[in-house]
């Protein structure tokens, strides 16, 4: 620990943070049970190594690109679920809500001749309405979210069947919608966006540090800030370098290269929701209600409205997930959003480090957890395991993640971190 101190914030003396103290503090938090996404990141690396060694094709550019479109729908639903989980609630209907919204879009496009720019908003509005209804039932009527969304889970399955007039498969031919999950950006656009993203992150970091330093507040040491930016830059640039390789099996016929369009869509959602959660008053109130509802109520926070809003956000994100899933499958069928979709999404959020007990979780959790799920699904598929084995393994990993969550909570309670 450094012995240098800095006088900050009106005279409260605190230890001046250094790179060493930062690492020390982080390690202290991990040991104290605040492990965040660490197990998911380590798990992701281990899984990639196992699958990469077992099947060479796992590390091929084409498979890497596939991971994005395979994981996109689950990641979006998981992002919405993070909000609901932050309040300690659950939305079991998010999977079929995504199916219903996808079906609304598909039916409007194919059967009613709508254009994508009206059909997609219609699907999103459907998501908002679903979320508002669920939230109202939970917050105002007071039915536990488990029961409300379990009922909705069944009901939406029925709605989906009715929308698809008894179970026909509605195919999508709109080129814009199909491009969302299946097309790539041009190589130069991929690089431009990557550089803009990294530069934007760097600027945001430095502005924050300078702003705090100017006020005489303790700020992150330069080494940590530079390290953070460097890690992001390395990850992003390596990913873009791989994705801009030619990955068509027969390049003479058709050229396939560039970052999949879903990647920036995921990135935008990640940035927007991370901003909302960590930098706005609303996000602060979501954490407060999740941490201690009574304290939030006494502080004058409209608890019911916050509770409704997280269900609205969850179903809205599920709607986007449903649109991407429909785009990827080129169609909507009665099982869209069914089978493993919801459990994968809940799994993604929890594996990423969002607590099932509320109050703890970040948006990046959904992306990291979603990546773990996508890698398991993809890697085990490549190794020729059956769907049955995949479900069992994914189920076990979800159980492990929830177990880690519960145990780290106990550890945190024992060490006084909670």
Q: How far is the CB of 353 from other proteins (least distance, A)?
A: 13
Crossing angle of helices 116-136 and 175-182, rounded to 10°: 70
Binding segment (CB under 8 A) for other proteins, from list 9-17, 224-232, 246-254, 371-379: 9-17
For other proteins, give the closer residue by CB, 173 or 215: 215
DSSP labels for 157-217?
Answer: HHHHHHHTTTTPPEE---HHHHHHHH-B--HHHHHHHHHHHHHHHHHHHHHHHHHHHHTT-
- Which x/- pattern, by CB under 8 A, does the window 297-316 give for other proteins? -xxxx---------------
Q: Rule CB under 8 A: which of 264-303 touch other proteins? A: 279-281, 284-285, 287-288, 290-292, 294-296, 298-301
Binding segment (CB under 8 A) for other proteins, from list 6-14, 162-170, 179-187, 257-265: 6-14
**Contacts of residue 39, Cβ cutoff 8 Å, sequence gap at least 6:** 351, 353, 401, 404
For other proteins, give the closer residue by CB, 140 or 279: 279
For other proteins, give the closer residue by CB, 192 or 207: 207
417 binds other proteins (CB under 8 A): yes
Q: How far is the CB of 36 from other proteins (least distance, A)?
A: 13
For other proteins, give the closer residue by CB, 16 or 55: 16
Please tell me the distance from the alpha carbon of residue 98 to that of residue 105, in angstroms, as a whole number.
Answer: 11
Q: Rule CB under 8 A: which of 67-86 touch other proteins? A: none
Spatial contact of 291 and 358, defined as CB atoms under 8 Å apart = yes
Out of 55, 212, 328, 411, name the contact with other proteins by CB under 8 A.
Answer: 212
Spatial contact of 143 and 137, defined as CB atoms under 8 Å apart = yes
Out of 3, 10, 141, 253, name the contact with other proteins by CB under 8 A.
Answer: 10
For other proteins, give the closer residue by CB, 27 or 188: 27
Planar angle of CA 229, 231, 232, nearest 5 degrees = 65
For other proteins, give the closer residue by CB, 200 or 251: 200
How do 331-332 and 12-15 pair as beta strands? Answer: unpaired
Q: Rule CB under 8 A: which of 308-367 touch other proteins? A: 359-360
Name the token pair of 367.
Answer: 């992306």
With 0-12 / 13-18 / 19 or more C-beta atoms within 10 angstroms meaning exposed / middle / buried, residue 250 is exposed
Q: How far is the CB of 251 from other proteins (least distance, A)?
A: 47
Q: How far is the CB of 87 from other proteins (least distance, A)?
A: 12
32 binds other proteins (CB under 8 A): yes
Q: How far is the CB of 316 from other proteins (least distance, A)?
A: 19
Dihedral over Cα of 159, 328, 310, 338: its sign: positive
Binding segment (CB under 8 A) for other proteins, from list 12-20, 75-83, 231-239, 248-256: 12-20
331 - beta bridge partners? 171
Please tell me the distance from the alpha carbon of residue 337 to that of residue 353, in angstroms, as a whole number.
Answer: 23
DSSP class of residue 137 equals: I
Name the token pair of 327.
Answer: 């785009």
For other proteins, give the closer residue by CB, 12 or 141: 12
For other proteins, give the closer residue by CB, 225 or 343: 225
For other proteins, give the closer residue by CB, 221 or 258: 221
Alpha helices (H) along 292-386: 293-298, 303-329, 341-352, 363-382
Binding segment (CB under 8 A) for other proteins, from list 110-118, 208-216, 247-255, 342-350: 208-216
Q: Rule CB under 8 A: which of 92-151 touch other proteins? A: none
Name the token pair of 210.
Answer: 């300078």
Please tell me the distance from the alpha carbon of residue 180 to that of residue 183, in angstroms, as a whole number.
Answer: 6
88 binds other proteins (CB under 8 A): no
210 binds other proteins (CB under 8 A): no
Spatial contact of 94 and 272, defined as CB atoms under 8 Å apart = no
Please tell me the distance from the alpha carbon of residue 316 to that of residue 128, in angstroms, as a whole number.
Answer: 5
162 binds other proteins (CB under 8 A): no
Q: How far is the CB of 53 from other proteins (least distance, A)?
A: 40
Q: Residue 83: name the closest of 370, 388, 265, 310 by CA.
A: 310
Total residues at interface with other proteins (CB under 8 A): 37
For other proteins, give the closer residue by CB, 137 or 301: 301
The residue ranges that bind other proteins (CB under 8 A) are 8-15, 32, 211-212, 215, 217-218, 279-281, 284-285, 287-288, 290-292, 294-296, 298-301, 359-360, 412, 416-418
């Amino acid at each position: 620990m450094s012995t240098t101190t800095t006088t900050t914030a009106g005279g409260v003396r605190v230890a001046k943070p250094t790179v060493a103290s930062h690492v020390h503090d982080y390690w202290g938090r991990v040991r104290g049970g605040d492990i965040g996404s660490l197990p998911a990141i380590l798990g992701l690396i281990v899984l990639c190594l196992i699958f990469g060694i077992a099947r060479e094709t796992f590390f091929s550019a084409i498979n890497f690109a596939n991971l994005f479109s395979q994981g996109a729908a689950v990641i979006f639903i998981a992002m919405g679920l993070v909000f609901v989980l932050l309040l300690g609630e659950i939305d079991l209907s998010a999977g079929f809500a995504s199916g219903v919204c996808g079906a609304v879009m598909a039916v409007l496009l194919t059967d009613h001749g709508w254009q994508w720019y009206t059909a997609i908003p219609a699907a999103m509005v459907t998501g908002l309405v679903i979320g508002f209804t669920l939230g109202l039932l939970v917050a105002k009527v007071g039915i536990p979210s488990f029961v409300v969304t379990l009922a909705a889970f069944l009901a939406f399955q029925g709605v989906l069947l009715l929308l698809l007039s008894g179970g026909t498969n509605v195919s999508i031919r709109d080129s814009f919608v199909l491009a969302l999950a299946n097309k790539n950006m041009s190589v130069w656009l991929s690089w431009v966006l990557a550089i803009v993203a990294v530069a934007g992150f760097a600027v945001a970091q430095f502005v924050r540090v300078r702003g705090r330093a100017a006020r005489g507040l303790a700020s992150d040491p330069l080494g940590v800030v530079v390290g953070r930016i460097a890690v992001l830059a390395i990850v992003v640039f390596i990913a873009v370098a791989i994705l801009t390789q030619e990955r068509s099996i027969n390049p003479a016929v058709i050229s396939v290269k560039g970052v999949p369009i879903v990647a920036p869509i995921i990135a935008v959602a990640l940035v927007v929701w991370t901003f909302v959660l960590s930098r706005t008053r609303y996000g602060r109130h979501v954490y407060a209600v999740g941490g201690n509802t009574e304290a939030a109520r006494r502080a004058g926070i409209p608890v019911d409205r916050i509770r409704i809003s997280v269900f609205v956000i969850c179903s809205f994100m599920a709607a986007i997930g449903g649109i991407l899933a429909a785009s990827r499958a080129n169609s909507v069928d009665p099982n869209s959003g069914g089978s493993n979709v919801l459990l994968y999404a809940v799994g993604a959020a929890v594996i990423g480090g969002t607590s099932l007990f509320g109050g703890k979780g970040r948006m990046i959790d959904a992306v990291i957890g979603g990546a773990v799920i996508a890698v398991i699904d993809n890697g085990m598929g490549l190794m020729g395991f059956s769907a049955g084995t995949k479900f069992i393994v994914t189920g076990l990993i979800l159980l492990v993640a929830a177990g880690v969550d519960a145990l780290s909570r106990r550890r945190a309670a024992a060490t006084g971190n909670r």
